[in-house]
Amino acid sequence: MNTPTSAPMGTRANTPVSTPYYEDVSPGSGALPPRARYARSDAMTLSLNGKWRFRLSPTAGTADASFAADGYDASGWDEVAVPGHWVLQGHGAPIYTNHLYPFPVDPPRVPTRNPTADHLRTFDLPQGWQPSGDAVLRFDGVESCARVWLNGTELGEFKGSRLPHEFAVGALLRPGGNVLAVRVHQWSSGSYLEDQDQWWLPGIFRDVTLLHRPEGAAGDFFVHAAYDHLTGRGTLRVDSAVPGRVTVPELGVDLAAGAEVSVPVEPWTAETPRLYDGELASAGERVALRIGFRTVRVEDGVIEVNGRRILFRGVNRHEFHPDTGRTLDLETMRADVTLMKQHNINAVRTSHYPPHPDFLGLCDELGLWVVDECDLETHGFTEQGWRDNPVDDERWTPALIDRAARMVERDKNHPSVIVWSLGNECGTGRGLSAMAGWIRERDPDRLIHYEGDPSCADTDMYSRMYASHAEVAAIGRGEDGGPPRRGQLPFVLCEYGHAMGNGPGGLTEYQQLFDTHRRNQGGFVWEWIDHGLTHPVLGYAYGGDFGEELHDANFVCDGLLFPDRTPSPALAEYKKVIEPVGIDAGGTAGTVRVLNRYDFTTLSHLLFEWSYEAAGETLGSGVLDVPPLAPGERADVPLPAPPDTGQDAAESHWTVRALLADGTRHEVAWAQLPAAPGQRAAVAVPESGGPRRAGELVTLGPAAFDARTGELRAIGDTAVRDLRLDVWRAPTDNDNGADPVTGARSGQLWREVGLHRMQHRLDAVELSGTALTVRTRVAPAARDIGLVTVYRWTSDGARLRLTVSVTPEGAWAVPLPRLGIRFALPDGADSAVWCGGGPGEAYPDTRAASRLGRWESSVDALQTPYVRPQENGARADVRWAAIGGVRVAGDPEFWFTARRWTTEQLDAAEHRTDLRPADREVWVNLDHAQHGIGSQSCGPGVLPEHRLRAAPAEFGFVFTEEPTL
């Protein structure tokens, strides 16, 4: 048997003898040195996942360790599933904090109340398990500190929650009846290094495996597979701790480990994930290799792979499942990668720790650039000006190097991994430099990333999070100042576009900055998925829902996916913004310009289709012949002659779509080009048949009004009430965020001004020959600002036209959330049809994915179910909409919103389950304008061009009766 040896640098620092292992700064003791992880070999393995006996103690010292002794009777204990988090299995509760430590900051000490879970299971060696050789017990992830015994013998203890730890156990194994005991502490010195913005979720949350190590088994190995884009040849060398042979049948390669060969190959890229199957055979084991040839380097200040600049169209991915936390099965991981690929995403930053190793296998296979980030964040030290920061304290350096080594050694054979990231939000310090030095020495063929050090002393790229558009533009132009070294580096946004709630806005404008400046190599949207936990009462829970004394509420729900992995509108928006084919109006009439935005591939895997639509109806379609353009190339492609519409008056446009030619017809990119503007006949209403008094009512065309107040009562048979000017929206998470420069929060300012409680003063109801005019002033209590609002109603007998004019009074220091009308349909509506932007939600700065057409949706499906309810569901550019027996056309186009609750109810709701329709009533908003969304929940606010300033405005709507759908 191998004697358990210390992890590299794993000796304990100078801590008193009495310091318990979970509070010393060492990474642990007893574990084997880290080594390469591989998915398949011919050596036997035994999964130890499953039901384990479980006992929870309130402190680390409550229960003695006698449970680990051979023969202990744990039959009275509870059970938990391994892998899993015990706080998600009915024992204790999760805690959410962003960067605040949920315990007093006194490193490396942890609280006395330190939930400690003893886990126990027995296992028999399976049939055919060879008695010869050794065996290794592997833990892929345990949060945050574990002590391990096998058959009563202590193996050691470790920290580093999302990193693998192995122990040599061969001599301890018995053919039948082995007892594995694991004690897990929620808090340890390691917790100081794991202050990521996420739920604190203790447990054995990744696989536990027993691996047979036959005599002559493979040891650690390092696949070096480079690609020379000038010669088209790959160079392969597999360094191996144990002598062995390397074969790659497809390439005719058969050579000794350590020897090098050069062969013509197809390179690996995220766009063309070409893998070659190979094998490393030592005397006692055959290990499957999946080899991808690629070379990554910085050339002239630009990150290049295989000699070409790449652009990161990335996301930050935490591991998350609403039921099982950071325990993910392979199908969930595959679903993530597949969804990313389907949405044009080409890169993932494994924020903020190495993922389950199988995830990287999927990235190799399906093609994603990976920034593999170390399990390290000490963000909470920012509260004390970074004093005592472990990354700048030598006593912690062995633990930091141990973490770097466990990541690099485990993941080094994945071609998808092109960048190592030291960690996240740790400030600066010598420990980080030590990590970078260790990594460079071990793996000079990849790049190093770290965001928190503006000097970029240890990194190969300048990285920022949430920098404004203006700053990214300045960086792109090389005008951002900073140390000279930094100016020579490529630039990435390791986090941007904070996808919390409705938004982020402004992605289009960022993409333009990536396309304009070679140095700006894209970024990673924050983040992939909302971390809302399934909750029996609240739908999805966020911070505070488990009674935490300190928490950061719904800041944990900031993903492009809802917790159940259904895409939020932001994912559709991002897909459109980063689409790898540009489609635009051509240089000459009757052509469309197609631009290949891929970094490596031609367009030969795509087929292009055109269609011609008038008034929302498709009148013709066909295939467009696009040449197989090389990356960066463009061509003007002739469109066919427009089909004879027979509807000369109708607004019409071309839609051009790029679809996968593999039979799936998956849409990769699209654009719409206007063809004919159409006529405005629908909204020009001749004024005839003026208003008539009829008792308490005034009638005008199809409508009836309250004679005293001028309020609309009905259009034909459809009752309408409370139609009036509306400027309020339930503030979004971005509205509630603080401006990074001024600290101002729009949502708060709006409430201070009183936009959520506007009063409507009636000044006059006037009946003239052709019009009913209602004069009002809309203003909040306690303020001298107001909106003079005039509603002018006219009709041609069948159609009812409303013209609204708004004149601001006083000094408006805040933007308006929205400007339009709202009304209730008391008898309700099940669905709506509209001609305009769809199918999904859009706002002024989140409207790239909104496509003109004729759409239909139930009222329920018009809602976007943000985990914390907020403004949502507007449809852009609506020409007309029909709902609940009324059809309304806009003059000009409008934003259409319909819901079963009021804005006030939406505003008051904290969870989805707070939104319950009272009765059939449906509320409709027809907006002339909307304020943008921005990304101010963490980042820049609404760009000036998307702000809605209070200014004189006039807009109209034409209502007609429409048989109910």
Return the active site residues.
425, 495
Nearest in space to 755 (alpha carbons), one of 957, 649, 904: 904
Here's the x/- map for ligand IPT, 778-817, by CB under 6 A: it reads as ----------------------------------------
CB nearer to ligand IPT: give 555 or 866. Answer: 555
Instruction: Give min distance, CB of 530 to ligand IPT, in A.
Output: 11
- CA-nearest of 186, 161, 193, 154 to 30 is 154
352 versus 801: smaller Cβ distance to ligand IPT: 352
Counting beta carbons within 10 angstroms of the beta carbon of residue 778, is it exposed (0 to 12), middle (13 to 18) or buried (19 or more)?
A: middle
Q: Please, what is the Cα angle at 703 between 699 and 706, to 5 degrees?
A: 60
Least distance to ligand IPT from the beta carbon of 433, Å?
Answer: 20
The answer to whether 77 and 52 are in contact (CB under 8 A) is no
> Measured between alpha carbons, how far is 168 from 5 in angstroms, rounded to an integer?
9
Sign of CA dihedral 214, 442, 319, 198: positive
Q: 462-477 burial string, b = 16+ CB within 10 Å, else e?
A: bbbbbbbeeebbbbbe
Asked if 929 contacts 953 with a C-beta cutoff of 8 angstroms, the reply is yes
Q: Compute the distance between CA of residue 200 and CA of residue 852 in angstroms, rounded to an integer.
A: 44
Question: Please, what is the minimum distance in Å from the beta carbon of residue 390 to ligand IPT?
Answer: 17
Closest C-alpha to 900, from 878, 922, 881, 884:
922
C-alpha radius of gyration, the chain, whole number: 32
CB of 425 to ligand IPT, least distance (A): 5
Residue 635: CB minimum distance to ligand IPT, A: 41
Query: Checking DSSP bridges between strand 142-143 and strand 533-535, what pairing results, if any?
Result: unpaired
Pick the binder of ligand IPT from 460, 558, 711, 893 (CB under 6 A).
Answer: 558
Residue 98 vs 964, nearer CB to ligand IPT: 98
User: Considering only CA atoms, which of 473, 424, 492 is closest in space to residue 453?
Assistant: 424
In the bound state with ligand IPT, the residue whose beta carbon lies nearer, of 690 and 740, is: 740
Selected from 195, 402, 495, 891, the binder of ligand IPT by CB under 6 A is 495
Specify whether the CB–CB gap between 952 and 518 falls below 8 A. Answer: no
By CB under 6 A, name the one of 45, 57, 98, 247 that touches ligand IPT. Answer: 98
Q: Assess 404 for contact with ligand IPT (CB under 6 A).
A: no
CB 578 within 8 A of CB 514: no
Site for ligand IPT in 532-551 (CB under 6 A): none
Per-residue contact string for residues 908-947; x = within reach of ligand IPT by CB under 6 A: ------------------------------x---------
> Closer to ligand IPT at the Cβ: 196 or 327?
196
Q: To the nearest whole angstrom, how small is the minimum distance from the Cβ of residue 465 to ligand IPT?
A: 5
- Which residue lies nearer to ligand IPT by CB, 276 or 574? 574
Q: Which is nearer to ligand IPT, 98 or 611 (CB)?
A: 98
φ/ψ of residue 385, rounded to 5? 60, 30
Using rule CB under 6 A, residue 466 touches ligand IPT: yes
Length of the chain: 965
Looking at beta carbons only, is 528 or 555 nearer to ligand IPT?
A: 555
Minimum CB–partner distance for residue 378 and ligand IPT (Å): 12
Q: Is 19 in the site for ligand IPT (CB under 6 A)?
A: no
Restricting to residues 643-682, which ones interact with ligand IPT according to CB under 6 A?
Answer: none
Nearest approach, Cβ of 924 to ligand IPT (angstroms)? 34
Q: What is the DSSP string of 645-671?
A: -S-TTS-EEEEEEEEETTTT--EEEEE
Buried b (16+ CB within 10 A) or exposed e, 877-894: bbbbbbbbbbbbbbbebb
Tokens describing residue 206 = 């990744």
Rounded (5°) CA angle 788-878-798: 75
Count of residues in contact with ligand IPT, rule CB under 6 A: 14
Strands in 500-546 per DSSP E = 520-525, 533-535, 539-541
Q: Which residue, 787 or 933, is less far from ligand IPT as judged by CB?
A: 933
Q: Which of residues 303-362 bind ligand IPT (CB under 6 A)?
A: 352
Binds ligand IPT by CB under 6 A, chosen from 389, 424, 463, 905 = 424
Q: Please, which residue, 101 or 791, has the CB nearer to ligand IPT? A: 101
Quote the least distance from Cβ 526 to ligand IPT, whole Å.
5
**Closer CB to ligand IPT, residue 391 or residue 465?**
465
Q: How far is the CB of 98 from ligand IPT (least distance, A)?
A: 5
Window 363 to 402, contacts with ligand IPT (CB under 6 A): none
Which of 526, 610, 855, 901 is the binder for ligand IPT (CB under 6 A)? Answer: 526
In order, the DSSP letters of 535-562 are ETTTEEE-TTTT--SS--GGGG---SB-
* Residue 383 in tokens: 């509260």
User: Using CB under 6 A, which of 157, 364, 409, 425 touches ligand IPT?
Assistant: 425
Choose between 527 and 921: whose C-beta lies nearer to ligand IPT: 527
Backbone φ and ψ of 241, nearest 5°: -70, -20
- Separation CA 257–CA 260 (nearest Å): 8
Q: Are 477 and 538 spatial neighbours (Cβ–Cβ below 8 Å)?
A: no
Instruction: Name the minimum Å distance from CB 733 to ligand IPT.
Output: 10
Give residues 842-861 in contact with ligand IPT (rule: CB under 6 A). none
Cα separation, 493 vs 509, whole angstroms? 14
CB of 500 to ligand IPT, least distance (A): 7
For residues 688 to 727, the per-residue mask of contacts with ligand IPT, x marking binding by CB under 6 A and - elsewhere, is ----------------------------------------
Which ranges of 58-196 does DSSP label H, i.e. alpha helix?
none
Tokens, residue 650: 């109708």
Footprint (CB under 6 A) of ligand IPT, residues 186-205: 196-197
Question: Applying CB under 6 A, which residues contact ligand IPT?
Answer: 98, 196-197, 352, 424-425, 465-466, 495, 498, 526, 555, 558, 938
